[in-house]
Chain A
Amino acid sequence: MQSRARAIQAVLDLVSDQPVIICNGFASREAFKVKDRPENFYMTGSMGMAAAIGLGVALHKPQKKVVVLDGDGNVLMGLGTMATVGALKPKNFIHVVLDNEAYGSGGNQPSYSRVVKLDQVAKAAGYVNVERVREREDLVYEFKDMLGKDGPSLLLVKITEQVEDVPWVPLPPAQIAERFRKAIT
């Protein structure tokens, strides 16, 4: 198993100009440190809404694969959005769930993803491709595969509870959004 930061690095190394929306908590902070790019949208509040933001982008940029880097606690909070994605079936939507079975950024309390299999929830909701991986090489293989085929896809990545020593994303939120908007046009 790898840390959240290593998993984020693997995904960001495989994308080119694809929009990437990153959920709140350490995921956004680590992504900024690992590889800041204008096509990254760092969500700092609105817990649970990363997939919804990604869906709004994906519906209107059908020629681009849109990647959401989500957390298990975030997915559980915005669980309804799995239904919306499964129903609308945007082909260009890739949902990567970094699953440490915990609210890592909230003090590491256990989350229900320990017992509720989020990949099976996605399958039941109607995601077209669903995979679960632990090792980095499997993450790389499956994510590359998802970049090349029609979705919606969900990749559940089991990660460790390790946290990097990272500051808050130092960009003003309005600037994150404006930079992202320009980069994906």
Chain B
Amino acid sequence: MIESDVFCQALQDIGFDFFTGVPDVLLAGVIETLIERRLYTPAVREDEAVAVAAGAFMAGKVPAVLMANAGVGNSLNTLASLNLLYRQPCLLIIAWRGFDGKDAPEHLVMGRTVTQVLETVRIPHRTLSEQTAPDDFRWVAQTFMKERIPVALLLKSGVVRGIQP
């Protein structure tokens, strides 16, 4: 299991210096660490969060947005018509609720389809694991600025500490 502060530090080392989003219980440890480090500004919706991230990027920040996969649905139009269209990169840190069909019923449809939704709008994604973490972070750093579009890192339950449902 990756510790929350190790996870946050890895992102800070890449250059991420502004975090916003809407909580999911899987992200509670990460958000707690980000709040301690005074790096987190809460949003009320995920579309708002990705739009704030676009504004922050144009103002010189390197933004990341935390959300549950339900938030991919909430933010899809803004991702498509703002972040992708205007080439405003941000890292989407997505709690993959409903992975493998094992979760509360409301997560099952998005849990089954989230990667396909991302692929349909051409948002590159990768699923974090402890074994591949250094590689995953390197992939984030490279893809993010090269493509100048949002990229997504999916977090399953139990991969980062403090995020058991």
Interface residues of A (CB under 8 A from B): 21, 41, 43-49, 52-61, 78, 80-81, 83-84, 88, 173-174, 176-178, 180-181, 184-185
Contact = CB atoms under 8 A, between A and B. Distances in A.
B18 A60 contact: yes
B58 A43 contact: no
A47 B51 CA distance: 11
Given A60-B18, A185-B60, A46 B55 contact: no
A46 B53 CA distance: 13
Interface string B48-78: 1101111111111101000000000000011
Given A45-B77, A78-B48, A83-B44, A60 B85 contact: no
A130 B57 CA distance: 28
Q: Which 10 A-B pairs have the closest CB atoms?
A: A56-B55, A45-B81, A52-B51, A60-B59, A49-B51, A80-B44, A56-B52, A46-B82, A56-B56, A177-B86
A119 B78 CA distance: 25
Contact of B53 (A43, A45, A56): A56
Contacts of B52: 52-53, 55-56, 59, 84
Interface of B: 18, 41-45, 47-49, 51-61, 63, 77-78, 80-82, 85-88
A179 to B, nearest CB: 10
Nearest to B53: A56
Contacts of B51: 46, 49, 52-53, 56
A84 B45 CA distance: 10
Contacts of A81: 44, 48
Nearest to A84: B44
Contacts of B41: 59, 88
Given A84-B44, A177-B86, A56 B81 contact: no
Contact of B55 (A53, A88, A178): A53
Contact of B58 (A78, A173, A184): A184
Contact of A52 (B18, B48, B59): B48
A96 B129 CA distance: 46
A60 B48 contact: no
A83 B45 CA distance: 11
Q: From B18, B56, B59, name the one whose CB has the most chain A CB atoms within 10 angstroms.
A: B59
Nearest to B80: A45
A173 B60 contact: no
B78 A46 contact: yes
Contact of A173 (B43, B59, B78, B85): B85
A78 B49 CA distance: 11
A125 to B, nearest CB: 11
B59 to A, nearest CB: 4
Contacts of A52: 43, 47-49, 51-52, 55
Contacts of A185: 60
A139 to B, nearest CB: 25
A147 B18 CA distance: 27
A174 B86 contact: yes
A41 B58 contact: yes
Contacts of B61: 60
B63 to A, nearest CB: 8
Contacts of B49: 52
10 contacts: A45-B77, A46-B82, A49-B47, A49-B82, A53-B52, A53-B82, A59-B59, A60-B18, A80-B45, A84-B48
